């Protein structure tokens, strides 16, 4: 049985640019969901017309 | 699996051509969607939706599919791999997302364009344009472009394992 990420050179983890991008994306999605729940902004989704 | 440099360059040229062409198609779509959204002229709104339908189905969708396919092929046939580098994983995920949303959105555009063909001037003004989809799509495509140019560092766990194994194999 192997433990590939616990050897002499463990995996350094997620790079900072990706963490920042994911946080920014999460904030944007959260704002979008909140606006949708509050009924602000256009209707969305396929075949909405 | 690796391919000769000539083949890699040819495939890269095709990938760049279709990917940047896709951005151009989205910009054209955005121009028509904006014109239809902000115009009170029924003729502009009608022609805007007819143009968006044509650009969407005949330019954006084929280029999106070609970009996705050539991107996957390039990843698999070069040292970058499909799941070795975070930037490749993110670029591939965003390309798949954009292609999926585009294909799901286009039937709605066709329905609206069909309605716009015969709609009254009052109804055409109600239809307006289409700004959110091309705007968000453009932002994501530009993000993919930046990722492809800068190729930010970061190996996935799989890429890390493969890199650790490589020196021992010598």
ipTM of the complex: 0.73
Q: Does B164 touch chain A (CB under 8 A)?
A: yes
Two structure tokens written together for A5: 């990420």
Q: Does B154 touch chain A (CB under 8 A)?
A: yes
Give pLDDT, residue B163: 86
Q: What is the mean pLDDT of chain A?
A: 77
Q: Is the pLDDT of residue A4 over 80?
A: no
Give pLDDT, residue B164: 86
Q: Which residues pair with B155 in a beta bridge?
A: B85
Chain A residues whose CB is inside 8 A of the B115 CB are 49
Q: Is the pLDDT of residue A23 over 80?
A: yes
Give pLDDT, residue B148: 94
Give pLDDT, residue B169: 47
How many other CB atoms are there within 10 angstroms of residue B66's CB atom? 17
Give the phi and the psi of residue B156 in degrees, each rounded to 5: -70, 170
Binding-site residues on chain A for chain B (CB distance < 8 A): 4-5, 7, 9, 11-12, 14-15, 17-18, 21, 42, 44, 46-49
Chain B residues whose CB is inside 8 A of the A22 CB are none
Q: Is the pLDDT of residue A44 over 80?
A: no
pTM: 0.86
Chain B residues whose CB is inside 8 A of the A25 CB are none
Give pLDDT, residue B154: 93
C-alpha closest to that of B56 among B117, B111, B127, B128: B111
Of A28 and B2, the one with more pLDDT: A28
Give pLDDT, residue B121: 94
Exposed/middle/buried for residue A3 (C-beta within 10 Å: 0-12, 13-18, 19+): exposed
Are A11 and B157 in contact (CB < 8 Å)? yes
Of A1 and B109, the one with more pLDDT: B109
Two structure tokens written together for B53: 């339908």
Give pLDDT, residue B6: 85
A2, A3, A6, A18, best to mutate vs chain B, most B CBs in 10 Å? A18
Chain A residues whose CB is inside 8 A of the B164 CB are 4, 7, 9
Average pLDDT over residues A8-34: 91
Enumerate residue ranges in chain B where pLDDT < 50. 169-170
Give pLDDT, residue B170: 44
Q: Is the pLDDT of residue A35 over 60?
A: yes
Q: How many CB pairs under 8 A join A and B?
A: 40
B144, B164, B168, best to mutate vs chain A, most A CBs in 10 Å? B164
């Amino acid at each position: 049985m192997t433990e590939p990420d616990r050897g002499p050179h463990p995996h350094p983890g997620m790079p900072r640019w990706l963490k920042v991008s994911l946080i920014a994306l999460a904030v944007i999605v959260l704002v979008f969901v909140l606006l949708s729940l509050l009924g602000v902004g256009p209707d969305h989704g396929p075949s909405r017309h | 699996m690796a391919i000769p440099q000539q083949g890699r360059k040819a495939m890269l040229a095709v990938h760049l051509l279709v990917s940047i062409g896709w951005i151009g198609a989205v910009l054209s779509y955005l121009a028509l969607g904006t014109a239809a959204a902000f115009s009170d002229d029924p003729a502009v709104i009608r022609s805007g939706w007819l143009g968006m339908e044509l650009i969407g189905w005949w330019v954006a969708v084929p280029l999106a599919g070609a970009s996705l396919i050539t991107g996957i092929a390039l990843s698999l046939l070069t040292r970058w791999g499909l799941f070795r580098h975070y930037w490749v994983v993110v670029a591939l995920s965003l390309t798949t997302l954009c292609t999926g949303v585009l294909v799901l959105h286009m039937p709605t555009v066709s329905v609206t364009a069909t309605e716009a063909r015969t709609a009254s001037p009052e109804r055409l003004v109600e239809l307006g344009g289409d700004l959110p989809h091309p705007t968000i799509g453009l932002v994501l495509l530009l993000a993919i472009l930046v990722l492809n140019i800068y190729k930010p560092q970061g190996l996935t766990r799989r890429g890390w394992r493969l890199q650790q194994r490589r020196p021992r194999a010598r």
